[in-house]
Amino acid sequence: MKIGFPYMGNIHISLAPMMRILGAEVVVPPPPNREVLELGVRLAPEAMCIPFKLTLGNMVRSLDMGADTLVYTTGSWSCRYGYYGRLQAQILKDLGFKFRLLELRHDHLPAIVHEGIRLNSGSWTRTIVRAGRAFRIGWHKSYAVEKAEFYFRQTMPFATDSRNCRRLLKDILIEIEQAQSPTELTSIRKGLKKRFAEVPRNGTDWAPCVKLVGESFCTIEPFINFDIIRRLGEIGVLVDPFLTAHRWLGFHGFRIGGDELKRVKAVSSRYWRDCVGGEDQNSLGHLIIAAQKGYDGVIHIHPFGCMPGTVVQPALAKASRDFDIPYLSLSLDEHTSETGLLTRIEAFVSLLKRRRTHRPKKIDTQGYYFTIA
Give the pLDDT score at 27: 92
Buried b (16+ CB within 10 A) or exposed e, 43-61: bbeeebbbbbbbbbbbbbb
Tell me which H or E stretch contains 100: strand 100-104
Q: What are phi and psi of 5, to 5 degrees?
A: -145, 160
Cβ atoms 158, 204 nearer than 8 A: yes
Residue 147 CB burial class (10 angstroms; 0-12, 13-18, ≥19): buried
Quick one: pLDDT at residue 367?
Answer: 42
Pair 305, 48: CB distance under 8 Å:
yes
The C-alpha atoms of residue 32 and residue 355 are separated, in whole angstroms, by: 37
> Which pTM value belongs to this model?
0.90
CB count within 10 Å of CB 13 equals: 20
| DSSP for 313-362, written as a single string | HHHHHHHHHHTT--EEEEEE-TT--HHHHHHHHHHHHHHHHHH--SPPPP
pLDDT at residue number 372: 33
pLDDT along the chain (373 residues), means of 10: 89 92 89 93 92 93 92 69 84 93 76 80 84 92 96 95 95 96 96 96 90 93 94 95 88 63 88 82 93 94 88 93 95 92 95 76 44 32
Q: What is the Cα–Cα distance from 211 to 265, expressed in whole angstroms? A: 17
pLDDT confidence of residue 368: 34
Positive or negative, the CA dihedral 182, 188, 191, 197 is negative
* Per-residue confidence (pLDDT) for residue 370, from 0 to 100: 30
